[in-house]
Structure formats: structure tokens, C-alpha cells
Structure 1
Amino acid sequence: MFGITKPFKNLDFAKQKRIINAALKEFTDKGFEQASTNQIVKDAGIGKGMLFYYFNSKKELYYYLIDYCLEITEQRYLELIDTSERDLFERLKKISNVKMEFLMKYPNAINFLATIFLQNFDQMDEELISRVEALQVIGHTKIYGNLDYSMFRDDIDAEKALKLVKWAFHGYEEELKLRLRHQDVTSIDYGPYFDEFFNYLDIMRTCFYKKERPK
């Protein structure tokens, strides 16, 4: 895996962000093969020689960006999920709000990761794939751990109902991937998808929960 280089690490934060955002945009718009380092340095306002002083190759820059995006996903999204909310559907709504704030704060990173997951995931380095899978395990625990099963109806098996919820949202995610696969990720309005998600939550709450929550 490619880590951050010492020369790049020693840059001031504002300059780092200019280079990162310029590179994220270029790779998102054009993919790895077609992305132009000339365009990256132009947008970042640096010389081309300096880019290759910070990163030895285009591939090293690309893999650094993947690592960077996975790191902020863990620190700025997964670590902010509140697991003290034990109502499954309320937790899912709160997680969605955290995700929406994350999308708004780091649009370039999210768009870049979207291109990776929608188009190039199988081509990633095995170590990065393992890291993504580890983050997915953490995310699963954050979503489905420490739930209050007393909220489920008494006439259904809560564990099986939870499994149905997991299947439903896995299927929803796969459907979204297909619907978004050929779209320009930089122009996607995620708002309607979150609204749709909340509607599904309300339907499943009605199906699986007691009419009145236990006090």
C-alpha cells in the first residue's frame, strides 16, 4: 500500500488540500488511465516536477488518494455513528444524517470512492480490498450492534426480522449501484435517495415494530 510521503506530509494543510482535491476531481472525472497529471498540477497551482517530488508516480498518487478517502471515511463517518440509540430504525435515520453531512463536507472524496466501488473495486490492490472489507465489518457492528429487541412485535422472531432488514438494505444498496453505475457521480443529487431510504424505514417499522413503543 502507498502511504503519505514525507515531502507531502510537510506541506502546509491548505496546499495539501489543493493537491488532493485537484487529483480527486481529475481521477473521478476521467478514471486512472485517462487522468492527466498536467491537469492536476494546473488545478492545484503547482509545478509538475513538484507533484512527482511529492509522489513518485501517478499510481502512487492514486493509491494514496484511496487510502486517504478510506481513512476519512473511518474517522469522519464511522466513528461518529451513535450506537447508544437502540431503536434500529431511529439509528438508521441518524446514521443517514451523519452520512449526509459527510457527503456535503467531503464531496470530492465521496465521488472518488463512488467511482472505485461502482467501477473499479475488483481492480484494487488486495491490501486495500482487505481494508475496505474490515471497514465494512466495523460499519455492520455500528449499525446492528446493541439493539433493543423488545421493540419488535411479540408475534415475530426479532432475529429473523433483523435479518430481513439486512437483506432488504443489502438489496437496496445493490439496486442503487446499478442505478448509479453509468451516471456522472459529480452531478448526483443524493437527497431523493435518502428520502426514499427513510420511506422504506417507515414501512419496515410498521411491519416489524409494536404499535406503541415500550416505556
Structure 2
Amino acid sequence: MKLTTLVNKLVVRRTDRLFAKFLSIEEEKRERVINAAMKEFAQKGYSAASTNEIAKEAGISKGLLFHYFTSKKDMYLYLYDHSIEMLVNEVEAKVDREERDFFKKIRQTAVVKLGIYNVHPDLFQFMEKAFFEESPEVKPELLERYKRIAASEYSHMFADIDTSKFKDGVDPGRALQVVLWSMEGLGEKMREQHRRVGGELQIEELMSEFDAYMELFERSFYK
């Protein structure tokens, strides 16, 4: 099963009747709305984002905007799912499927995702803002999505790794789970730091810490 198919089963499906009206409009108008909403949410976060500004930026009335989406929350979660699908498609297209080294593939996946910043800066900014989102209206659902998607993505992408490199007695499946738990912990550390001091995501610092974790795990798990 392709990763995109798997993810589509885990996130709110964009073909759901909830978004049928929005999906039925012409692509150019649909992209205007998506771009306007992504820009507004990326700049202001969920709570402060204005649906009036989104409608104005998209060149449509607020009434029409809520004809497409039943609420601001539905619009936001739709946009999040749409962004996840774009990220997954980029990873599928650019990660070397022939690479079977566990840790090389993990880093390759991380580099591809961060590289999207250069191609889709608005999407990256939106996803960064969503990662740090604290609104109780959407935070629980964002965290649930993040955990499910991360687990399914990694388990699928690393199904064909070279297990001969692991030390005797090391279960590759459990090793993957340890890596996932550590990445969740790193993410929570970043959220806590953001809550305390704010500021933008420091990509170089993040990758440096990511690499330090991977080097530690590689020494621990590999022969």
C-alpha cells in the first residue's frame, strides 16, 4: 500500500461530504482560498486568525467561505490535512526507496521535509505554527493526527530496512519505536521552549540535535 493511501485513511479524508462543496469549485478559486487561509493561520495562529481577512485575501465573501466550510475549526483542520498530504507526496517523490540503511533513511526523510521550506515557505510556516499551536479548540486533534501519521509513516517507510546491521538481540521494530518516542520527546521539548521564550524554529539547531540523537542510537543499535 502506498504511503499516500495509508495517510489518507488516517487523516480526515478530503473527499468527505463535509468538504464536498469546497472540492467542487474550480481549482484556481480553491487554491486562492487555501493560500489565503494558510497565510493567515501561519502568520497569526489559530485563535488570532481572521476569517474576514481570509475571505478578503481570497477575493470571496465571508458567507461564501462558510458555505465551503462549516466552521473556522473545520477550515483549519482541512488545511492541516491538505498540508500533510503535500508533505507526504514530497517525501514519496524524493526519498530514495532503495536505501535500506535505517539511520540514513531517517535522516534523508528529515532533510527532505526541511528542504520543503525552500519550495513551499508558506506551507512550512503554517506547519511550524500548527506544531506549536496551543488553542484547546484544535490542539488535541492536531496532536492525535501528528502521532498517528508519524507512526504509520515511519513503520511503512522502514518496512524493508537492512536488519543485518543491527546488533544481535536488538529488535528493529522496537528500535524504531524508541526512535519515535525520542522524536516525540524532542518535539515536546521544542514546544516547551517555544512556550517559554517564543521565537522561530531554529532549523540548524534542530538538525544538530537530531543528528546527535541519531548518532547515539546508531552506536547503540548497530554492530
Q: Normalization by structure 1: what TM-score?
A: 0.71
CA distance change for structure 1 residues 138 and 32 in 2, over 3 Å: closer, same or farther? same
Q: CA deviation at 1:198?
A: 2.3
Residues 1:19 and 2:33 aligned together: yes
1:149 to 163, 175, 178: 163
Q: CA deviation at 1:103?
A: 3.5
Identity %: 31
Provide the rounded CA distance (Å) in 1 between the counterparts of 2:22 and 2:220.
56
2:51 to 37, 58, 65: 37
1:100 to 114, 118, 124: 114
Cα deviations by residue, 1:62-118 (Å, 9 ceiling, x for unpaired): 232233223323433367544532211111121112212334333333433444443
Provide the rounded CA distance (Å) in 1 between the counterparts of 2:70 and 2:220.
55
Q: CA deviation at 1:120?
A: 4.2
Secondary structure at the aligned position of 1:77 is classed as: helix
CA distance change for structure 1 residues 208 and 121 in 2, over 3 Å: closer, same or farther? farther
- Asked which structure has the greater CA Rg, the reply is 1
Secondary structure at the aligned position of 2:99 is classed as: coil
Q: CA deviation at 1:164?
A: 4.8
Match of 2:187 in 1: 173
Q: CA deviation at 1:189?
A: 3.8
CA distance change for structure 1 residues 17 and 75 in 2, over 3 Å: closer, same or farther? same
Provide the rounded CA distance (Å) in 2 between the counterparts of 1:122 and 1:79.
35
Provide the rounded CA distance (Å) in 2 between the counterparts of 1:107 and 1:195.
21
CA distance change for structure 1 residues 141 and 80 in 2, over 3 Å: closer, same or farther? farther
Match of 2:154 in 1: 140
Contact 1:70 1:132 (8 Å CA) reproduced: no
Match of 1:192 in 2: 205
Aligned length: 205
Residues 1:4 and 2:9 aligned together: no
Provide the rounded CA distance (Å) in 2 between the counterparts of 1:168 and 1:7.
38
Provide the rounded CA distance (Å) in 1 between the counterparts of 2:204 and 2:139.
32
Provide the rounded CA distance (Å) in 2 between the counterparts of 1:202 and 1:193.
14
CA distance change for structure 1 residues 116 and 166 in 2, over 3 Å: closer, same or farther? closer
Contact 2:41 2:126 (8 Å CA) reproduced: yes
Contact 2:55 2:61 (8 Å CA) reproduced: yes
Cα deviations by residue, 1:113-139 (Å, 9 ceiling, x for unpaired): 444443348644988776555423322
CA distance change for structure 1 residues 203 and 32 in 2, over 3 Å: closer, same or farther? closer
Contact 2:34 2:79 (8 Å CA) reproduced: yes
CA distance change for structure 1 residues 49 and 126 in 2, over 3 Å: closer, same or farther? same
Contact 1:5 1:55 (8 Å CA) reproduced: no
Match of 1:159 in 2: 171
Secondary structure at the aligned position of 2:161 is classed as: coil
Provide the rounded CA distance (Å) in 2 between the counterparts of 1:52 and 1:198.
44
Provide the rounded CA distance (Å) in 2 between the counterparts of 1:137 and 1:121.
24
Structure 2: which 5+ residue stretches go unaligned?
1-11
Q: Normalization by structure 2: what TM-score?
A: 0.69
